[in-house]
Amino acid sequence: MSRLSLSRRNILKAVAGSGVSCGFGTMVNLSGLSPAEAATLAVPNFKGGEFLDKFKGNVLCLPGKFSGNVNVMDMAKCETLAWFPFGLLNIDMPIPHHLASMPSEDATKGFDFYVTMQPPESPYVNEMSPEWRNRGTFGMWKMRFDGSGPQNRISMVNDIADTTGLALGVHTSIGVGPNANKYVSFADGQKDIIMVTTVDDNPKFVAAMKFDYDPVNKQLIISRLFPGPSGKFDLLNRKGCKTTHEAMLGEELMPADPTAVFVDAFTWHPEMPLGTVLLRRLGATPVIDTKTWTPLTVMGMGTGAPDHYKLVRQQGYTWVYSIPSVPTPLHEAGFVTNGLHYVSCNNVLENSNTVIESGDSDPLKWRKKAIIQGYGKTHLPLHMGNLPNSKYVYFTVWARPPLRGYIAKVSTDTWQILQKIDIGPDPHTCEPTIDGKYMTAVYSGNQGGQSGIVVLDVESDEIVMRYPDPGGHHDHSLVPKDWEGMKASRSTNV
């Protein structure tokens, strides 16, 4: 009785409050105001726009996925600052997939970011028409938002796939710590390849690796890849695909090309010259030395998996590791902002997180520390979000429709789930505001339903803002202010 009454009171209070403020918003005459004032006062529900002042300086970068564009949103103005339709690049059925933003002192004035793209067959394999099989493309672009002039614009700086001859379509992640302002990584689970380039406007190839599973000998084969005599790879568009659609959420058990490992991302250690590769199907994480671009170890994440798989042999640029069993696949993973821990999202079979101590400069000394349980059989941890102070980590937790997902807030002290917050159906990525007081998250309504962006108060766990957004985003980034802030962004985790 008391539960119901309390909820009802709050609901009625909120309904009444929002009704009043909506009315205020519609009564304001904007015609006599300067453009800047109009932008503030035109925000409905919040008198004078004051409520949004707390988000000043926070800018979101959002890939539109099926809407085919990328847009930049000012959280304080509740306004899209600019948008770029990838049809302008002559792409038939573009699907901007993942992105990562470079830091900017004032993101409203300008910043650079990277976007990757997959063909429509990948994210929409379930609903696709077979006639779409050849539409769209793989690719990576360096983009630039310019808000310094009278007309905001997003422009394409470099077509990195065209520059390197290698097209990849999943996560992109920008180097931090010792790799800050040097490198950006790209990954793809249909080709099982990662590539690293420099971050300048004319990117140079740095390193690439291919990952293959040998199902007979139960081994992981890691190979360095090098461009051909022309200085480029010959792996544009679908060339090199093992599977023509990326394994969807929880689909790691899908039978596939026998060599498939479903590479997902390359993430960066915040304090050391190290990076990790996420291998979804093997539930394993190679740790890469970013000075020599060689694997130092391959870590097992599932229950009962060894901390480090055995290196069977190494010859030239090929490393072979024994993976005798895979207790569970994983999807995303990454380092906590301070670099002391690495956390994996174990998918489907275990629905848990493995916490690994990752503070030692020798990755072979990294060890499992804890397992975060509590997601049950219906929900799996998907994406990870950090805070600048490393006090909590967040995970979006995904469920199959008609169930909804939620966000889990986890203590980095006890490694227990402290709160589960239902933000809407099909939650994806989470990113902190610059001050670390709020966590933003996107949800996409299972590719067609309710979608939006929520803002959580980190300490009270309240949803303090919900931005409507039709994009159905699969990813987003909040533009960090500096390279230190990048450590809490999608550089260290995805």
The amino acid sitting at 119 is P
Dihedral, 73, 84, 265, 338 alpha carbons, nearest 10: -30
For residues 454-473, which are near another protein according to CB under 8 A? 460-463, 466, 468
One residue of 40, 41, 43, 45 binding another protein per CB under 8 A: 45
One residue of 98, 171, 281, 476 binding another protein per CB under 8 A: 281
50 binds another protein (CB under 8 A): no
**Minimum CB distance to another protein smaller for 133 or for 313:** 133
Q: Nearest distance from residue 194's CB to another protein, in Å? A: 20
Task: Enumerate residues 6+ apart whose C-beta is below 8 A from 420.
Answer: 397, 406, 407, 408, 409
CA distance 280 to 251: 10
234 binds another protein (CB under 8 A): no
Q: Nearest distance from residue 25's CB to another protein, in Å? A: 11
One residue of 215, 230, 316, 413 binding another protein per CB under 8 A: 215
Stretch that binds another protein, among 3-11, 81-89, 105-113, 144-152 (CB under 8 A): 3-11
3-class SS letters over 113-172: EEEEECCCCCCCCCCCCHHHCCCCCCEEEEEEEECCCCCCEEEEEEEHHHHHCECCCCCE
**# residues near another protein by CB under 8 A:** 88
- Reduced to 3 states (helix: H, G, I; strand: E, B; else coil), residue 103 is coil
For residues 315-354, which are near another protein according to CB under 8 A? 325-329, 348-351
**Minimum CB distance to another protein smaller for 364 or for 403:** 403
Stretch that binds another protein, among 279-287, 310-318, 427-435, 470-478 (CB under 8 A): 279-287
One residue of 446, 489, 492, 493 binding another protein per CB under 8 A: 446
26 binds another protein (CB under 8 A): no
* Burial 301-328, CB ≥16 within 10 A → b, else e: bbeebebbbeeeeeeeeebbbbbeebeb
For residues 397-436, which are near another protein according to CB under 8 A? 399-404, 406, 416-424
One residue of 48, 87, 228, 376 binding another protein per CB under 8 A: 376
Q: Nearest distance from residue 250's CB to another protein, in Å? A: 6
- Reduced to 3 states (helix: H, G, I; strand: E, B; else coil), residue 249 is coil
For residues 131-160, which are near another protein according to CB under 8 A? 131, 133
**Minimum CB distance to another protein smaller for 184 or for 393:** 393
- Reduced to 3 states (helix: H, G, I; strand: E, B; else coil), residue 456 is strand
Which residues are registered as beta bridge partners of 430?
441
Q: Nearest distance from residue 405's CB to another protein, in Å? A: 10
**Minimum CB distance to another protein smaller for 335 or for 395:** 395
Q: Nearest distance from residue 49's CB to another protein, in Å? A: 16
Cα radius of gyration rounded to whole Å, the chain: 22
Reference 80, options 106, 101, 108; nearest CA is: 108
For residues 295-314, which are near another protein according to CB under 8 A? 302-303
Pairing of strands 59-63, 477-478: antiparallel
Stretch that binds another protein, among 89-97, 126-134, 193-201, 204-212 (CB under 8 A): 126-134
368 binds another protein (CB under 8 A): no
28 binds another protein (CB under 8 A): no
| Residue 249, number of CB atoms within 10 A of its CB | 17
> Measured in whole angstroms, how far is the alpha carbon of residue 89 from the centre of its chain?
24
* Burial 263-285, CB ≥16 within 10 A → b, else e: bbbbbbbbbbbbbbbbbbbbbbb
CA distance 444 to 447: 6
377 binds another protein (CB under 8 A): yes
36 binds another protein (CB under 8 A): no
| Residue 112, number of CB atoms within 10 A of its CB | 20
Contact 66, 46 (CB under 8 A): no
Q: Nearest distance from residue 164's CB to another protein, in Å? A: 22
For residues 77-116, which are near another protein according to CB under 8 A? none
**Minimum CB distance to another protein smaller for 111 or for 138:** 138
CA distance 159 to 156: 7
Stretch that binds another protein, among 119-127, 198-206, 224-232, 485-493 (CB under 8 A): 119-127
